[in-house]
Structure 1
Amino acid sequence: MKVTVRISAAPAFDGGAAGVGAFAERIRRADEYGFHRISVGDTQLNNLECFTALGVAAQHSSRAMLGPGVTNPVTRDVGVMANTLASLDAVSGGRMFCLLARGDGAVHNAGLRPATVDQIGAYFQALKDLLNTGYATFGDRAVRLPWAGKHERKVPLYLVAEGPRMLRLAGRIADGVFVGAGLTQEVVDDALAKIASGAESAGRTIADLDIWWDTRSGVALTRDDAMHRARESLASVGNHVFRAGFEGKHAPPELHDRLREYARRFDYSEKGTSVQNGPLMDELGLTDYFERRFGVIGTPEQIVRRLRELEKLGVTQVSMASHDRGLKGVPDSVTLLGEAVLPHVR
């Protein structure tokens, strides 16, 4: 099994000044442990600017692929995005990838709306054209990035897909997919079928795509601390997947009313903290369902068993989060995943 580890680029403060030393050290360790990929979130809440952090990551790693996990087409101009990705690919020696989604917290907290499926499709194609040829048409704009077209290495572009339309779109146009729809057999089978349908419509097959599965994960020495680490991520995905409705998403009918209420009351200003949304998830009785559908949570031994179960479902490449807000004196998630999980699932 291949594993992407998501590492938050939180600044460390020493004497009132922000620094990147702690983040750089986690990157170095993750690279040495042998994670296949390292991703950094694109958010303007509690972290350093995503692509600045990826530049730091490129300087403190040598093997792992690096990329934003996840960026969006709303707050990132397509020409600037293409130049940034191509530049970081050059800096990292050809190790960049890019995950694109419609937009969640980074968009809402900028006072903007997520992209539609059609909008992200147009953006994705323009970005791909810029990276491949140096030229693109995007709406009524002609966008140029001539040097990128001369760059022999091409940054692989992935779509993050949850609903039916995004899964089919990814199958049709993307180099790969990060599936966020869930981790049950029903959801896995249906997601693969929709990706395959999209690929077929473009004259290719699902084998032409690199498919990864997003997990909402937490690893710790105790089950309770693992859930503490995963709680904010579970709270986020429960809103993100179902906020636009339930068609084709395999949400149990008996949960529809509670899921609508959850989306209505979800607080984007508290996204990533669980101060508001974690308790709301509990209040509406959704925590257990979110964990069954999206979670990989527990002690290292429990994580290994869960990943082995997922392999039987056809899930062989996963993205897992590292959390560094566990109990004092307890190893951080990068250490636990790298030393107690990764050696047992590769």
Structure 2
Amino acid sequence: ALSDEARTPRGSVPIYVAGTGPRMQRYAGEEADGLLTPSITTPAFVRYSRQNLKDGAESGGRNADELDVGCTVVASIDEDRDKGRQGAREIAGMYLANKVQNIQASADVLLECAELTQEEIRPIADAMESGGRLAAAAAVTDEILDKTRPIAGTPSDCIAAIEEYADAGCSHIMLELWGDDREGQIELFAEKVLPHFRR
């Protein structure tokens, strides 16, 4: 229990809706403080989500510009571009393999926005099934990785990717960090990426 002298940092706790489909996203616009998108979010999916949020906000008599869109984005950073992309390749492989099994109805839009097809990602799922996470990562080609729009590579690459997400309407980015030396990656993000956005 809190003592009588304790103070809470804010009034009410913000409520966010995590949603992929248009109904959940519109509901977030009608009732919530914001929307959280799933992994394998792309700038195109952010624009799709922003529109659904706006539609919901309008039907609820609210201003969509006052609502957050939080995006969980696959991320990995290194001074060496290939090493920075490798961590993102690993987590993208796991997510894409999973999408083959559970894509249903509205979740298809994730692949559509990434301009990916089931045929393109089927080899990743097969590799995951037969060889696990590292085999799936090896099956993620550069072209497929680029389509998933990770925040990955060098610090400059990561800055450009974050700007692309922000331009699409993402107001809150959550980095899903993967790969080697995560503590070192956190430090590199803190030293070379975050200052760009804190000006």
Distance 1:218 1:211 in 2: 21
For residues 239 and 166 of structure 1, the distance between their equivalents in structure 2, rounded to whole angstroms, comes to 24
* Matches of 2:147 and 2:53, distance apart in 1: 23
Displacement after TM superposition at 1:262 (Å):
5.5
Alignment counterpart, residue 173 of structure 2, candidates 318, 322, 331: 318
Provide the C-alpha distance between the structure 2 equivalents of 1:342 and 1:200, rounded to a whole number of angstroms.
Answer: 34
1:243-263 deviation line (CA, Å, top 9, x unaligned) = 232546063587224546766
Q: Which residue of 2 aligns with 1:183?
A: 42
Could you tell me which residue of structure 1 aligns to residue 58 of structure 2?
A: 200
> Per-residue displacement from partner, 1:314-339 (whole Å, max 9, x unpaired)?
33431113457339xxx612110111
Q: CA 1:207–1:187 in 2, change beyond 3 Å: closer, same or farther? A: same
Q: In structure 1, the residue corresponding to 2:181 is in which secondary structure?
A: coil
2:197 aligned with 1:345:
yes
After TM superposition, where is structure 1 displaced by more than 6 Å over at least 4 residues in a row? none
Gaps of at least 5 residues in structure 2 are none
Larger radius of gyration: 1
Highest relative contact order (Cα 8 Å, sep 6+), 1 or 2?
2
Partner of 2:109: helix, strand, or coil? coil
Q: Residue 136 of structure 2: which of 263, 280, 289 is its match?
A: 280
| Higher alpha-carbon deviation: 225-234 or 240-249 | 240-249
Decide which structure has greater helix share. Answer: 2
Residue 303 (1) aligns with residue 158 (2)? yes
- Please state how far the C-alpha of 1:192 moved relative to its aligned partner: 0.8
CA distance 1:286–1:165, change in 2 (3 Å): farther
Superposition deviation, residue 177 in structure 1: 1.4
CA contact (8 A) 2:84 2:152 kept: yes
**Equivalent residues of 1:164, 1:249 under 8 A apart:** no
Where do residues 150-299 of structure 1 align in structure 2 (5 Å cutoff)?
Answer: 153-180=11-38, 182-184=41-43, 186-239=44-97, 243-245=102-104, 247=106, 249=109, 251-252=111-112, 255-259=117-121, 276-280=132-136, 282-283=138-139, 288-299=143-154
> CA distance change for structure 1 residues 297 and 224 in 2, over 3 Å: closer, same or farther?
same
1:169, distance to aligned residue in structure 2 (A): 2.8
> Cα RMSD (Å) of the superposition?
3.5
Assess, with a 3 A threshold, how the Cα gap between structure 1 residues 297 and 254 changes in structure 2: closer, same or farther.
closer
Preserved contact between residue 170 and residue 177 of structure 1 (Cα < 8 Å)? yes
What are the residue-to-residue correspondences of 1:109-148 with 2, within 5 Å? none
User: What SS does the corresponding residue of 1:203 show, helix, strand or coil?
Assistant: coil
- Asked if the contact 1:234–1:294 (Cα under 8 Å) also holds between the matched residues in 2, the reply is no
CA 214–241 in structure 1, closer or farther in 2 if over 3 Å, else same: farther
The residue matched to 2:174 in structure 1 has which SS? strand
What's the counterpart of residue 16 of structure 1?
none
The alpha-carbon distance between structure 1 residues 215 and 224, as it changes in their structure 2 partners (threshold 3 A), is same
2:26/2:57 contact within 8 Å kept: yes
- Which residue of 2 is the match for residue 74 of structure 1? none
Query: Normalised by the size of structure 2, how large is the TM-score?
Result: 0.73
Between the aligned partners of 1:232 and 1:310, the Cα distance in structure 2 is 21
Change (3 A) 1:314 1:207: closer
Structure 1 alignment gaps of length 5 or more? 1-85, 95-151, 268-274
